[in-house]
Amino acid sequence: MSDHFFVVTGGPGAGKTSLITELARRGFHSTHESGRAIIREEMASGGDALPWADRMACAERMLERDLRTHSAAQALSDPVIFDHGIPDMPGLPEALRPPRAAPPHRSGQDSPLQSSRLSGTLLG
């Protein structure tokens, strides 16, 4: 767990992106929401991993991207501000997370979701 990771989460239009943009302008490491990036990429490439076309593929791409972002951020020692992220995955609409088998992992190791947990205080 990383005590220097901070996740900004909330409903649409709450000001998350504006806050993170300002924090990045002030020199904080920050990440972008994976959903928006995936939609842009899929639209540009003609792909269908879109919430309105293939919700499960979109959710899987979001998780993959968030896991890569989280892994890369482990190398940083300064605070990292996440625009949503892995902790938001359980909050996705039910349609985005039908029951599926968990990805295999070695015995004695945390699954990717377990190893990506955050510690510290949750501000709401």
Q: Confirm whether 12 is domain-assigned.
A: yes
Q: Confirm whether 123 is domain-assigned.
A: no
Q: Confirm whether 66 is domain-assigned.
A: yes
| Residue 81 domain boundaries | 5-115
- In sequence order, which residues have a C-beta less than 8 Å from that of residue 27 and are 6 or more positions away? none
Between the alpha carbon of residue 59 and those of residues 13, 17, 38, 75, 94, the distances in Å are 21, 20, 10, 25, 11
Q: Confirm whether 62 is domain-assigned.
A: yes
- Tally the domains of the chain: 1
Q: Confirm whether 111 is domain-assigned.
A: yes
Q: Cα separation of 36 and 50, whole Å?
A: 10
Q: Report which of 65, 66, 51 is spatially closest to residue 97, judged by C-alpha positions.
A: 51
pLDDT truncated to tens, each residue of the chain (124 aa)?
Answer: 567 888 888 777 888 889 999 999 999 999 888 888 899 999 999 999 998 888 888 888 888 888 888 888 889 889 988 887 665 655 554 444 444 555 555 555 555 555 555 555 544 4
Q: Report which of 114, 94, 93 is spatially closest to residue 103, judged by C-alpha positions.
A: 114
Q: Confirm whether 56 is domain-assigned.
A: yes
**33: exposed, middle or buried (C-beta count within 10 Å: 0-12, 13-18, 19+)?**
buried
Say what the pTM is: 0.64
